[in-house]
Homo-oligomer: A and B are copies of this chain.
């Protein structure tokens, strides 16, 4: 499984969630995580979350992660959502190490915008999906609230109480991808030492 960095300023329009996007764009013949920083504006035809039909799903500056797994055949959306949860929990843990304490609800992360208040801002969007041969995950983290929908209270990690530099962001992305790849790999290792019934 490989981590590949996509060029910044690419807009996530939903086309990147399609199976084989990484192969068709970068020629990667392997499971992969592609990461980049960019805006989001999902074209309705590319919407995968039926619950979002008719809603605006957008942001001006987000960290995007597109994960594709070919290791399980046929692809299994149940497993894929488990991996999505693991990825989100890895991100949550790493944000805490940056000083940003979040709460999680399913695949959503929230940030208490003011410590004294209970007002929570939605920090992320995520979806998982699959075709018969590949499992895909999109996770994106707001860097800023700018450009996010008006009807949702959002938050951006660059606008938190914590001083975060762009260098921190770059390291964060690299480590998040490395941690996730290690996690999936450690599961494979654990299987090979386990007695079954």
Q: Which A residues fall within an 8 A CB radius of B?
A: 18-20, 23-24, 28-31, 47-51, 53, 70-79, 81-83, 85-86, 89, 92-93, 96, 104, 106-107, 127-134, 183, 186-197
Contact partner of A194 (CB less than 8 A), chosen from B48, B96, B183, B193, is B48
This chain's copy number in the assembly = 6
Nearest-neighbor residue (CB-CB) of A195 within chain B: B48
- Residues from chain B with Cβ under 8 Å of A189 in the complex: 29-30
Cα–Cα, bound, A107→B86 (Å): 12
Cα–Cα, bound, A72→B191 (Å): 11
CB distance from A175 to the nearest CB of B (A): 14
CB distance from A25 to the nearest CB of B (A): 11
* Complex contact B29–A78 (CB within 8 A): no
Nearest-neighbor residue (CB-CB) of A24 within chain B: B50
- Residues from chain B with Cβ under 8 Å of A75 in the complex: 74, 132
CB distance from A83 to the nearest CB of B (A): 7
Nearest-neighbor residue (CB-CB) of A184 within chain B: B82
* Complex contact A193–B130 (CB within 8 A): no
